[in-house]
Structure 1
Amino acid sequence: MPSAARALCLSLLTLLPLLGAAPTTAAADRSRPAAGPAGSVPVAGSAGWSLAPAGGARPSFYAEGTPGAVLRDTVSVTNRTTRPVTVRLRGTGLRVHFAETGVRVPARTRADVPFTLAVPAEAAPGDRSGTLVAQDGHGRAETVRIRLRVGGPALSALTVENPAVHADRITYELVNRGTTVLVPRLAVRADGVFGRVLDRAPRTLPVRLAPGHRLRLSEPWTDRPALDAVDVRLTVTAPGGARATADTSARFVPWGALGAGAAAAAAGVAAALVVRRRRGRRPVATDGESPCTEVELTGAVT
């Protein structure tokens, strides 16, 4: 046999074992799951599952409604694995109700879950945000954001109620009767028999009053008259045109420093002062005290 032909035959004999082994190795590779990171256990279906708005490529939910409206939409749970997945759904930040909260999604299947979004009846116009959350039994969670725009007219309105004068303070209640959050300003004036005994210019109160809510506040008055009959007026304003006033009255008599006879005489003097005050007043004094409003109680309007 020529030397060239002999060399070709030897080469073929050398390659035949390698060519026969290749199909066996490929078949073995197809029978094993894909290798993951070092130390990890391979899981069927590497894509996992996801949560997204149904019906398109929306990255998040957007809704508009007026106070009291109920809005509807659908969220999708897509299972790309080769095993069923069970997730629980919940909402945060907004009033969300799902058609079902526990959802079992078969392998390679998508489940569409309807839900409703309720706009609170007392909600003020403006934007709010929340999230939809899905979590599986292994603690993995997916979220989708919701943006809600509350429509309706912006109404700024409030009332001042239940004013009263106590030993060292004036108490009152503010009620937000509108649809916007209010940052109120308060002015206080008190007129006694011989003129003005308290005059505090308008100042911004350190409170934010939500629509439909009530605040009980107090205004300190530590240097009130020892003997006088006064009329007190509270004037409250807020951006947007809100304005309200409330009036109350009080008589100051130093009972502890008087005996029985003197107390009776002081009562007569106080009565005379009231009569004189009604006949006419003249302003004589202002109060330069720097007040500090105290919040005593918060709650919804009743």
Structure 2
Amino acid sequence: MPVLHTRRRALRLLLVLLAAAALHPAPAGPAAADEPGWTAEPAAGAAAARPYFYLEGAPAAVLEDRLALTNTTDRERTVTLRGADADDPADADDPADADDPADADDPADAHDTADAHDTADGAGSWFSFGAGATVTIPPRTRAVVPFTVTVPPASPPGDHPAAVIAAEDGREVGVRVHLRVSGPTLAALTVEDVAVRGRGAAAVVAYTLVNRGNVTLAPELDIRAEGAFGAVPGPGPRAAPVELLPGQRVELTEPWPGAPALDRVRVTVTATAPGGARATATASAWCVPWRAAGRTGLGLLGLGGTALGALLLVRGRRPRREPADDGARGGPPAASGKANPAPAPEHELTGASR
């Protein structure tokens, strides 16, 4: 029976494959290497978990808080801690996402610590971890590490953004610290360098925001445009895609897909922030489809050249008119069938009667 033999062969082949898979299991994938293995976050307070630290004190004050490190693996972990300045307040904003090793290579990621750095006199130098600067965490264990922030006596009032950096084997995780020195605060900003770039759907409004105060700002924007015949649709109100640290200057662009195709526009950018900060700047620009205008100009120029050439050609072919032969050349007068009339006598005006 050929059908029976075929089924038996298929069954034998299946048993051989199952036995080979049992003897040679598939190698483990790289998932374990991609797992972070530990997390860093503010220790839970009396009320609830905190996404970041918030510390405030007067000059010369000593502030205290605690960092929680959790080892989620089956092997021991050794983590080193330090304080750092934060050039971008979005750095280390969410330690849960910052645990991804890929984040550390992307400076645009909101949780990258590339912009957090140590300085000799910045807020990063105010942190002290004592004996907990290097922490060994047993497997499946959570360790709570206390630290202090000593505010120098001459520190100016306002915000001094910082971060707590936890590192192991070249991988770093930052935890954001909102650090404010008590005293008078000033919320102030300016809008500068407004310009329209690009044309049509690719047009953008470029502008620069500068924090002139001593507190961190989260500005709201209102971008309006007015053309030669009245208001035109602009980007409109929106939140700025960045927080501004004291003294920080940021260049930004906003898409403007509704920019007019042909008009002279005046763009006004207004920025406001809590605390009474408000600033406005304007710029004028021509919205002209230069490519289409160039093609139209070349077409008109070519048409004008063709018309001029045709006119010159017609004039060149026009027959020349010969002058009338009146005997001036010494030849016989032309026969016209009529005698030339005698010229009328000329009279002298002498006053005498004739």
If the length of structure 1 is used for normalisation, what is the TM-score?
A: 0.42
If the length of structure 2 is used for normalisation, what is the TM-score?
A: 0.37
Larger strand percent? 1
Larger Rg: 2
